[in-house]
Amino acid sequence: MSARNVYSGPRRKLVLAFDIGTTYSGISYRSDTNHQRGPLFQSLDHSSSLICLDTRYPAQELISGASKIPTIIYYDLAGKVRAVGAEATREGIYEEAEDGEWYKSEWFKLHLRSKFGAGKNITDQIPPLPPKKSVIQVFADFLQYLLECASSYIRETEPNGAELWNSVRDSIDFVLSHPNGWEGKEQSQMRRAAVLASLIPDTTLGHARLSFVTEGEASLHFAVQNGVLASILKQGDGVVIVDAGGGTIDISSYRKSAQGHTYEEIAPPQCHFHGSVFVSIRARIFLQKFLSESDFLDDLDTIVENFDKTTKVRFRNDGDPQYIKFGSTRDNDPHCNIRFGQLKLSGSDVAEFFKPAIACIVEAALSQRTASPHRISHVVLVGGFAASDWLFHGVQKSLSSHALTIVRPENHVATFGVLLQGFSMLTADLFRNKAVSDGAISFYLDHFVRTRNTQVTEQTEFRYPLSEEADSKSKFRDVMAQIWCYRGDIERPRWKDVDSRNFTHLCTIITDLSHLPLKRQVNRRGSPYYQVYFDVVLQFGLTEMKAQVAWLHEYNALSNETFVKPIGCRAKSRGPAKIVYDPDS
């Protein structure tokens, strides 16, 4: 990896990366606390990582140094947040929530997903949102909590931390990660949540302080930063990055560019809803049927919760029986294999819960290799779900027969030292999840990926000329252009009535052109009117689509006037445009 540019900005700088995962979340950050010229945002800790890990969250005493917290919020009947993060898993919280009739919100990130693609049919499988709460409101509450965690950590651990925080609070740059399959609508909702959480103001400058990175690209940056790719990639070879998380499995493929300092995407990225929570969903369906005639059916939630924390994480051999401890020694039901408060399952049954996820990763990796014009030799498996040895070895066994080598980097497991007995497997899972938030910081600093699969660079612009007529210039305050998206298989679609079901309205570009110097004209009926010519300018090379408008001024020396004319040469003025996404897109 090449050295970073020297930071020479006039002000202190702080970058916060928030990775709100389906099941666990975390923070990484960079700052230039010491005002020293050197590698941008020099490390403030003493670990091998150059990124400062926010590893101390409220109520996280039981998992020392954990860099991830549960993505859970408890609300009371009035909609007020009562417990969040690790606080929502402390002892006694279940009884307190029952007594107070609190509502537990988890996996809420999945409610942000697109209505199209792989996740369109999973609504019935995920917990509903709290009453009278939108997904944006819940997301904002959790963002606000993460911001408070970051503030507390920096104030308490940095030299002159309080002074640092106060000096940068209104200028912090934020990076939010999201699954590969998310588009502008999902990013728009995340931005609204960031505004609601007071991360940024709802202004053009405020919006500019928030950027997005896909989990696939963040994972690539993490792998580059930690030297994983340097040791496995030969010149010209490609690699598949598999980020196996709580909700989604994100697949991306890259190769090092000819210059050797950046990477290019070599196959269309994929996002599949086969993360670790869906193993738990399949376990619940199985156990609900298995215990249908048992008195312990009422303990199903507790049984599934304990399966999630222990059995699922430790599962390694489908030939060995698996046990879920949920009760006391007095709890027995021989007909359902329950003895001394433990439910016994066959290893082959548990293996079935993992089967769709393993098959998904194998199929996706092979399809990436087929779609790529370059040789792919390795698959790198990261993310919290990657901690599962059964998942890893299942993928390894299947892909090794296709001449693909599977690599699972250890992340930060060794950095944080001793793990408490009884929490070791869970904590290892949490550490492995740090790849995305660390990679999000690297994305902000390094931008290793210069070209995506469409071969559109970050500087490439797409333009489309339009014109509008009105009898008053004031009617140009909200000029709109509709953007449609084709999601079918026709390589070059030309007409919306061909394969029309795969055309969806994506968004509306809105801009104010009423301030332009427009020439008053008269039509054949003698009525005055104004006409404006402009280009809609779209930039697709970044993670987030951007829009502007452009127009051409013409100066008349005789009348000493300037007018907007039809665009026909390169000299154009530019103005801002707002993208409003269709809620049904």
pLDDT at 416 over 50: no
pLDDT at 172 over 90: yes
Higher-pLDDT residue of 389 and 59 is 389
pLDDT at 398 over 70: yes
Report the alpha-carbon distance of residue 332 to residue 366 in Å, rounded. 46
Question: Binning pLDDT at 50, 70 and 90, where does residue 420 land?
Answer: very low
Cα atoms in the 13 Å half-sphere on the side-chain side of 41: 18
Cα atoms in the 13 Å half-sphere on the side-chain side of 381: 27
471 touches 66 (CB < 8 A): no
pTM: predicted TM-score of the whole model, two decimal places:
0.79
Question: For 239-250, b where at least 16 C-beta lie within 10 A, e where not — what string?
Answer: bbbbbbbbbbbb
Question: Binning pLDDT at 50, 70 and 90, where does residue 41 land?
Answer: very low
For residue 417, which phi and psi values (nearest 5 degrees)?
75, -140
Structure tokens, 277: 């929570």
Report the alpha-carbon distance of residue 125 to residue 24 in Å, rounded. 19
Domain annotation for the chain: domains and CATH numbers: 13-35+46-214 (3.30.420), 232-273+355-424 (3.30.420.40), 276-352 (no CATH), 461-581 (no CATH)
Kindly give the pairing relationship between strand 81-84 and strand 72-75: antiparallel
Q: Please list, in sequence order, all residues whose beta carbon lies within 8 angstroms of the beta carbon of residue 127, skipping any fewer than 6 positions away.
A: 104, 105, 106, 107, 108
Question: Binning pLDDT at 50, 70 and 90, where does residue 39 land?
Answer: very low
CA distances from 142 to 72, 90, 268, 282, 320 (A): 8, 17, 31, 27, 40
Chain centroid, CA 554 distance in Å: 45
Q: Please list, in sequence order, all residues whose beta carbon lies within 8 angstroms of the beta carbon of residue 381, skipping any fewer than 6 positions away.
A: 242, 244, 361, 392, 395, 406, 407, 408
Report the alpha-carbon distance of residue 68 to residue 564 in Å, rounded. 55
Higher-pLDDT residue of 168 and 231 is 168
Chain centroid, CA 103 distance in Å: 25
pLDDT at 256 over 90: no
For residue 283, which phi and psi values (nearest 5 degrees)?
-65, -40
Type of residue numbered 309: K
Structure tokens, 257: 């560019």
Report the alpha-carbon distance of residue 252 to residue 407 in Å, rounded. 15
- HEC per residue, 440-491: HHHHHHHCCEEECCCCCECCCCEEEEEEEEECCHHHHCCEEEEEEEECCCCC
Question: Which range, of 324-333, 341-350, 476-485, 542-551, averages the lowest pLDDT?
Answer: 542-551
Closest CA to 425 of 389, 393, 394: 389
Condensed to tens digits (0 to 9), the pLDDT of residues 523-580 reads 889 999 998 889 899 887 667 788 999 887 665 545 455 556 665 444 478 888 998 8
Chain centroid, CA 381 distance in Å: 17
In 3-state terms, what secondary structure has residue 393? helix
pLDDT at 443 over 60: no
Q: Which helix (H) or strand (E) holds 293?
A: none
Residue with tokens 């879920």: 324
Structure tokens, 529: 């009117």
CA distances from 204 to 178, 201, 514, 517 (A): 22, 9, 19, 24
- pLDDT of 111: 93
Condensed to tens digits (0 to 9), the pLDDT of residues 5-38 reads 555 566 788 889 999 999 998 888 887 654 433 2
Closest CA to 85 of 37, 142, 160, 43: 142
- pLDDT of 441: 56
For residue 372, which phi and psi values (nearest 5 degrees)?
-80, 135
Question: What totals of helices (H) and strands (E) does the chain contain, helices first?
Answer: 14, 27
Q: Which helix (H) or strand (E) holds 212?
A: strand 210-214
Q: Please list, in sequence order, all residues whose beta carbon lies within 8 angstroms of the beta carbon of residue 469, skipping any fewer than 6 positions away.
A: 529, 530, 531
The size of the chain, in residues, is 585
Q: Please list, in sequence order, all residues whose beta carbon lies within 8 angstroms of the beta carbon of residue 8, skipping any fewer than 6 positions away.
A: 37
252 touches 271 (CB < 8 A): no
- pLDDT of 496: 84
H helices within 261-342, ranges in order?
Answer: 276-290, 300-306, 312-314
Taking residues 168-195, report their average pLDDT.
91
